[in-house]
């Protein structure tokens, strides 16, 4: 399963991050890869280790016992892995703060809890405070997101049902995913459509039901010249254009104010309160829905109606996901 790969990498990251000392390869196998042995374990462990390193995770090697220098262990230094201090403007800080509250990936939270439980059950001393530096910071509300990301890494074909913007009925598709990219406020899977024998792009929010990674690992190669962002720009629908009218609470919404063509200060807010400004944008940002949501209760869409409806739809999805994650 796609989720298994994600969970395995997360478990390895957590195990090496919370250890105060180097951990032997055999101990890692016992705790995280109990059903793998010999060459199969060696290949899987090396692949996972290199994949984490390719993502910028500084996995260190060192001796476990100074008296037996031939036994090598592994760990991740929190000091090396943590980001340096970052200075944000007030509006940027507000967006990051909201994103931190909004994005709590249920699968990652479950994987973290299970990994720490396994380590404690194995009698390993852990420092869970180190996990604060690996909290996810990404908004992805589509249920198939993890499947496509994992299949991209594993080079597996993904099967799914899909309803295009003009289709009345869904169709069954098979894709060799080259990458997952965000464009114009939407997540897209880019790759080779097996049945159409052509490059295709699929909006993840239009995937129906459960997407499944099938077949062998390393089943295909991504063409060397491929840039999935360029493909997304070429094949995805053009970003929305037209005029948008927003209400912003005074003292907030700085990024939206910078994009505004005009501002009417001191208007009544959507709840009838004072202290709001009306801003008009004629050059609509690519992800205006995300920008509005990023300002929480301090931003409200007056027009157009379809923009207001999309904001409401995303909020309803978010509430449903968070509600499901807490049950």
CA separation for the pair 272, 191 (Å, rounded): 49
What number is the average pLDDT over the span 277-286? 82
Q: What is the pTM of this model?
A: 0.43
- pLDDT value of residue 69: 62
- For residue 83, what pLDDT is reported? 54
The 10s digit of each residue's pLDDT in 115-144 is 555 555 555 555 544 444 444 434 455 678
Can you tell me the distance from the alpha carbon of 303 to that of 80, in angstroms, rounded to the nearest whole number? 47
Average pLDDT, stretch 213-237? 87
Output the CA angle 195-198-199, nearest 5 degrees.
120
pLDDT per residue as tens digits for the range 136-184: 434 455 678 889 988 998 999 999 999 887 778 899 999 999 998 877 6
Residue 245 has pLDDT above 90, yes or no: yes
Greater confidence, 142 or 201?
201
Report the C-alpha gap between 270 and 279 in whole angstroms.
14
Domains delineated in the chain: 2-81 (1.10.10.10), 145-235 (2.30.30), 244-326 (no CATH)
Mean pLDDT of the chain: 78
pLDDT of residue 62: 85
**Residue 118: its pLDDT value, please?**
52
DSSP character at residue 168? S
Please report the pLDDT score of residue 240 as a whole number. Answer: 57
Q: Give the range with max mean pLDDT: 30-39, 153-162, 300-309.
A: 153-162
> How large is the greatest C-alpha to C-alpha distance in the chain, in angstroms?
74
What are the pLDDT digits (tens) for 65-74? 766 666 788 8
pLDDT band for position 256 (cuts 50, 70, 90) = confident
Q: Give the three-state DSSP class for 129.
A: helix
For the CA atoms of 220, 223, 224, 228, the dihedral, rounded to the nearest 10 degrees, stands at: -110
Q: What is the CA radius of gyration of the chain?
A: 23
What distance in Å separates the CA atoms of residue 308 and residue 302, rounded to the nearest whole number? 7
Out of 100-104, 130-134, 204-208, the most confident range is 204-208
In this prediction, residues 14-18 reach a mean pLDDT of 82
């Amino acid at each position: 399963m796609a989720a298994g790969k994600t969970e395995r990498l997360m478990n390895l990251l957590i195990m090496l991050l919370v250890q105060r000392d180097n951990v032997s390869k055999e101990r890692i196998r016992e705790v995280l890869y109990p059903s793998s042995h010999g060459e199969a374990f060696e290949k899987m462990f090396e692949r996972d280790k290199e994949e984490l390193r390719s993502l910028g995770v500084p996995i260190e090697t060192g001796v476990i016992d100074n008296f037996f220098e031939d036994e090598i262990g592994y760990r991740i230094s929190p000091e090396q892995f943590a980001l340096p201090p970052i200075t944000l403007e007030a509006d940027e800080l507000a967006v990051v703060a909201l994103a931190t509250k909004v994005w709590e990936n249920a699968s990652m939270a479950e994987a973290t809890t299970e990994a720490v439980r396994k380590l404690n059950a194995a009698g390993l001393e852990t420092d869970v405070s180190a996990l604060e530096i690996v909290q996810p910071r990404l908004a992805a509300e589509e249920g198939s997101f993890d499947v496509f990301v994992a299949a991209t890494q594993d080079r597996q074909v993904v099967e799914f049902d899909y309803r295009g913007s003009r289709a009345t009925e869904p169709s069954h598709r098979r894709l060799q995913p080259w990458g997952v990219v965000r464009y114009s406020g939407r997540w897209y899977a880019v790759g080779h459509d097996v049945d159409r024998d052509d490059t295709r792009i699929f909006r993840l929010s239009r995937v129906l039901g459960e997407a499944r990674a099938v077949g062998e690992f390393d089943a295909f190669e991504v063409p060397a010249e491929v840039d999935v962002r360029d493909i997304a720009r070429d094949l995805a629908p053009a970003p929305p254009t037209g005029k948008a009218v927003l209400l912003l609470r005074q003292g907030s919404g700085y990024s939206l104010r910078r994009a505004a063509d005009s501002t009417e200060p001191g208007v009544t807010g959507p709840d009838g309160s004072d202290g709001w400004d009306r801003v008009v944008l004629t050059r609509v940002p690519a992800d205006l829905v995300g920008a509005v949501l990023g300002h929480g209760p301090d931003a409200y869409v007056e027009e157009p109606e379809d923009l207001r409806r999309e904001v409401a739809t995303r909020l309803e999805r978010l509430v449903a996901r968070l509600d499901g994650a807490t049950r």
